[in-house]
């Protein structure tokens, strides 16, 4: 191709405008997809944060209200009542798969005087304790740290004596005089009362893998004072007995 013919070819090429839209679309689409995907991921993360915080508050509120009137102006808390709260959580968090990718710990922080079955070592003044805990969720345990309670634990038999109306010192719970929660923001139960403290740990499930966000664990807590005059001596489990959702279990 001679110089004149090449110049003429370039001139004709410059006058061609038929592929401009296609070229602009090809150049702009990666940016559009990138910014759009990032916006969708951040919106989903914000919505998930809101949902997890609401799950914690809903469970704390529900657990603060449950119980059956014992006929003695007090309400007895039963294992079946706690399991009903947990089943409710399963249902209203199903869209987030909370129990599959997270763990919920329900703690009863009580500031009461306990009496023991053997009559020895009875409290002479109210003592704040984590009296019992119940959990749901597949995460957690020694092989999966970071999803269990961050603010104190108690043994699985606490508040669940084998027989009789009174606990023994072995299942009295774990003393927690400083309360539960972040340092400087601890929750304490009023004297003679209890507080339901709920902690939720959840592994966020991103829409686009790790393209826009790193692996993120969401953490929320909520607490509500027990609403009724509850019988704090133990968790009852009348016949037909319910399987206690103790924190040594890791089920969805």
Produce one character per residue of 202-236: b if its CB has 16 or more CB atoms within 10 Å, e if not: bbbebeeeeebbeeeebbbbbbbebeeebbbbbbb
Predicted local confidence at residue 198, as pLDDT: 98
Predicted local confidence at residue 5, as pLDDT: 80
What would the two tokens of residue 114 be? 């306990």
Predicted local confidence at residue 206, as pLDDT: 96
Q: Which residue has the tokens 């043994």?
A: 155
What residue segments make up the domains of the chain, in order of their start? 20-236
What would the two tokens of residue 112 be? 């009461």
Longest dimension (CA), the chain: 112
Predicted local confidence at residue 1, as pLDDT: 58
Residue-level pLDDT, tens digit, the chain, 252 residues: 577 787 777 777 676 666 667 766 677 777 778 889 999 999 999 999 999 999 999 999 999 999 988 777 789 999 999 999 999 999 999 999 999 999 999 999 999 998 887 777 788 999 999 999 999 999 999 888 899 999 999 999 898 876 556 677 778 899 999 999 999 999 999 999 999 999 999 999 999 999 999 999 999 999 999 998 999 989 999 989 999 999 999 999
Predicted local confidence at residue 182, as pLDDT: 95
């Amino acid at each position: 191709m001679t110089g004149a013919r090449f110049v003429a070819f370039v001139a004709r090429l410059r006058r061609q405008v038929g592929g401009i839209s296609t070229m602009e679309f090809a150049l702009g689409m990666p940016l559009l997809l990138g910014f759009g995907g990032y916006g969708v991921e951040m919106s989903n993360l914000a919505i998930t944060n809101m949902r997890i915080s609401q799950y914690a508050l809903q469970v704390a509120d529900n657990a603060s209200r449950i119980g059956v009137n014992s006929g003695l102006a007090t309400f007895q808390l039963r294992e079946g009542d706690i399991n009903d709260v947990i089943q409710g959580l399963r249902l209203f968090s199903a869209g987030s798969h909370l129990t599959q990718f997270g763990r919920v710990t329900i703690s009863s922080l009580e500031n009461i005087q306990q009496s023991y079955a053997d009559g020895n070592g009875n409290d002479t003044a109210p003592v704040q304790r984590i009296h019992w805990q119940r959990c749901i969720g597949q995460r957690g345990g020694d092989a999966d740290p970071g999803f269990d309670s961050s603010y104190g634990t108690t043994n699985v038999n606490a508040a669940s004596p084998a027989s009789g109306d009174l606990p023994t010192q072995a299942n009295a719970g774990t003393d927690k005089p400083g309360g539960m929660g972040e340092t400087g923001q601890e929750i304490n139960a009023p004297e003679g009362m209890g507080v339901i403290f709920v902690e939720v740990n959840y592994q966020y499930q991103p829409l686009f893998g790790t393209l826009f966000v790193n692996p993120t664990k969401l953490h929320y807590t909520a607490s509500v004072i027990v609403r009724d005059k509850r019988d704090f001596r133990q968790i009852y489990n009348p016949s037909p007995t319910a399987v206690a959702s103790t924190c040594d279990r890791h089920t969805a």
